[in-house]
Amino acid sequence: MKVLCITRPGGPEVLAEEERPDPIPGPGEILVRVRASALNRADLLQLRGHYPAPPDVAPDIPGLEYAGEVVAVGPRARRFQPGDRVMGLVGGGAWSELLVTHEREAMPLPEGMAFTDAAAIPEAYLTAFDALVLQGGLKPGEAVLIHAVASGVGSAAALICQAMGARVVGTGRTAAKLARAADWGVTRTVLCDMEPPRFADAVREATGGRGADLCLDLVGGGYVPETLDALAPRGRLMLVGLVAGLTTELNLGAVLAKRLRVTGTVLRSRPLEEKIALAQSAERHLLPLFRAGALRPVVDAVVPRADIRQALERMAGNDSVGKLVVRWD
């Protein structure tokens, strides 16, 4: 099979195409022919040598999500059959023609959905659903602050909130991106084009002075202190990304006085059992919403495999809105 692999730490230019042996599915596993994948900032970090893959996946083949068709099943695998169309998250290795995954980590494609649309779903929607609903306890009618609302995860989170009847205030660094947020039901946005960012007053104004009940923070760094100021009493902060930095200075008095809850979360390094539980929950609760049209993938562009380097540069330059999808067939 052909794979795109990392030859040395660096930027998109370090990717090379190589031939590797076809993987063989083990007990409970399926072999999937990848038809499309999507790009994530974790891929850029892995290229630079800052985000090593888990020990059970190839260390030099990036790619965290896929959509494709089952070509073979391993012993005791009963959930899918060859020819079934599936999508899902993997710890790495999705930038290849074939991959192996546990059958219970894979999800069936919504009927009639193209592979290139389905590839935009797993990372964005499972991350947002897990953080907002399963861990954050999102409830109808709550006010939710979403940082980087025009990103892949941010747009998915906004659509989940809309489907659940929650109100969204979204932040972003460019007015053009924030204008796109109206496409997924975000009517209140705050432009964060200064350092340090300032948005707490605008969030309180948008929520009648109370503040946000829940925040999905995909940025971290200097956004965290202002986020705590923007939260309502007993508000919850779900910290998912750190693109603005690994450290910041907090007023712990605000955490105590408002009885705030701050939770950090990642998906890639979780045990298999937890990944399966998330995939199964998403299949039960999210896929019906895709079938009904209440949720949809947000795709910035679809590019052929030969153009993946340019697509990575576009993502690194913060020029994309939603997901960048790579066609592998």
Q: What is the pLDDT of residues 102-119, one digit of tens each?
A: 999 999 999 999 999 999
What digits encode the pLDDT tens for the residues 268-324? 989 999 999 999 999 999 999 999 999 999 999 999 999 999 999 999 998 889 999
Cα-based torsion angle of the residue sequence 303, 309, 311, 313 in order, rounded to the nearest 10 degrees: -170
Report the pLDDT value the prediction gives residue 193, as an integer from 0 to 100: 86
Q: How far apart are CA 59 and CA 309, in angstroms?
A: 19
Place of tokens 């995909």: 218
CB neighbourhood size of 316 (10 A) = 15
Report the pLDDT value the prediction gives residue 244, as an integer from 0 to 100: 82
**pTM of the complete model:** 0.95
DSSP β-bridge partners for residue 187: none
Residue 183 DSSP code: G
Regions of the chain where pLDDT drops below 50: none
Report the pLDDT value the prediction gives residue 239, as an integer from 0 to 100: 97
Structural domains of the chain in order of their starting residue, each with its CATH number: 2-120+297-327 (3.90.180.10), 124-264 (3.90.180.10)
Contact of 130 with 103, CB cutoff 8 Å:
no
Residue 195 DSSP code: S
